[in-house]
Amino acid sequence: MSHKLPKPLFQYEYLGQNMEYSLAQFYTIDRPQLKTLLALGTLEPMWLILCDFMNERRRAWRLAPAFVFIAASELVVWCLPVDQFRQWLFYTLRQAFLLWCIGYAVFRYATSRSEVEKARMRRQEPVLIAAAVLCLCIIIEDVAMILVFDSSVFAAAALLPLYISERNFSENILLLAFSFFTLRAASDTLRLRFKEPPAADAPDTQTYVDELLPAFCERYNLTARERVIVEQVLQGKDNQNIASSLQLALGTVKAHVHNILKKTGVSTRQELTQLFWKG
């Protein structure tokens, strides 16, 4: 049985006018591979940002969720019959990816033995809470529109239900929220991640140094003395100035700087500065 249903708005609205549109087509997934890649283009960068924040450097660990997401999406498309559940599961894989990111962050927080790292993670708590709440809203909205609502009533109903079914408003809000947090973080990073030492009157520089330095030193097992040296390096001082400022021998400062570079895995003071402001 087929009905002359209006095609979804903004989707072939001109080409599909007055064409027969079967109810079975309502649950088809148009261009699934393209939609999978577009979703991955949003989700994988979020995961990589989280990995950087958690200092997760294993390449396999950073790439595995992307491959699992692609494989799961392909399995859903090719192995399940065209029905409501297939359509719902295909789109819910996006939320599964997000929930994986949130769950990983919570796991790292719960298993961390460092109070410094935990305090650093707690500063991102609003982002995680907002993501978790909106992710739940997306799932609820998809369940309601795909699994609960009966598409057979759309032929006689107004256009609004069909319009809503083609859009997930919670997902749109989530993307806007992520955009806001990302732009705010990028603004702070671009303002503070300098290759040259900051100006002496830079407003928030010392505040950010005080905030980030404890976690940075703990992550790379820097000693109390090395922490002081790092702070001096971030101010743009050379070895001689550091030695004079701390009343240390020049050779001692050189040895400390060498150890700091070795522990952090960088080769130059400039790379050390960039690594620090990376957070």
The DSSP line for 185-200 is HHHHHHHH--SSPPPT
Tokens found for residue 161: 């239900």
Same domain for 228 and 184: no
Last residue of a domain, one of 127, 156, 191: 191
Residue 174 falls inside a structural domain: yes
Residue 15 falls inside a structural domain: no
pLDDT of residue 161: 52
Whole-angstrom Cα distance, residue 168 to residue 170?
A: 6
Residues 6+ apart with CB under 8 A from 222: 216, 230, 260, 263
Same domain for 163 and 50: yes
Same domain for 161 and 115: yes
The CATH number that applies at residue 255 is 1.10.10.10
**φ, ψ at 57 (rounded to 5°):** -105, -10
Same domain for 79 and 40: yes
Same domain for 109 and 82: yes
CA angle 215, 257, 59 (to 5 degrees): 55
Same domain for 150 and 240: no
pLDDT of residue 7: 38
pLDDT of residue 14: 42
Same domain for 120 and 97: yes
Same domain for 237 and 186: no
**How many domains are there within the chain?**
2
Residue 246 falls inside a structural domain: yes
On whether the CB atoms of residues 141 and 168 are closer than 8 A, the answer is: yes
Q: How far is CA 257 from CA 127, 229, 240, 261, in A?
A: 36, 7, 12, 6
pLDDT of residue 81: 92
Same domain for 213 and 172: no
Tokens found for residue 112: 């961390």
- Is the pTM higher than 0.95? no
Residue 115 falls inside a structural domain: yes
Averages of pLDDT over runs of 10 residues in the chain (279 residues) are 38 46 65 94 91 88 96 96 92 95 95 85 88 92 82 53 62 84 69 53 69 86 93 90 93 95 92 81
pLDDT of residue 166: 55
Residue 196 falls inside a structural domain: no
Residue 8 falls inside a structural domain: no
Residue 3 falls inside a structural domain: no
Last residue of a domain, one of 125, 160, 191: 191
**Which structural domain range is residue 239 located in?**
205-277
Residue 267 falls inside a structural domain: yes
Last residue of a domain, one of 164, 191, 218: 191
**φ, ψ at 203 (rounded to 5°):** -65, -50
Read off the amino acid at residue 42: T
Same domain for 219 and 160: no
Same domain for 164 and 44: yes
pLDDT of residue 10: 39
Same domain for 223 and 181: no
